[in-house]
Amino acid sequence: MSRAARALSLTIAIGLSLLLLVFPFVLGSELGAREHVALTLLLLGISGAFVHGFGYEPQRRAWRVLFHPLTAWSLVCVGLAPFLVRVVGM
């Protein structure tokens, strides 16, 4: 992957990590089962974005798929979706 993709992954990972660390209340006061699953996926996506952003390239195929930037970005989007729906009010 290109340096721009690595920079994007690192920016996403750092930005969301800081947001969740500094402002944890943006997720809401109580998490239901749906939000808990979404948060788990979001954190997995952030972890994958950190791994890709720092340039780690695993040798095994399963780890390459798991830590691929498209996998990480997809997990971040899926994980953020329920929280964005709550904020927008849909």
Tens digit of each residue's pLDDT (9 = 90 or more) over 36-66:
899 999 999 999 999 999 998 889 999 888 8
What is the DSSP-derived secondary structure letter of residue 68? -
pTM: 0.88
Report whether pLDDT(1) > 80.
Answer: no
Gap between the Cα atoms of 88 and 90, Å rounded: 6
pLDDT in tens, 11-30: 999 999 999 999 888 777 77
Domain that holds residue 17: 3-88
CB of 46 within 8 A of CB of 2? no
Share of the chain above pLDDT 90, in %: 56
Number of folded domains that form the chain: 1
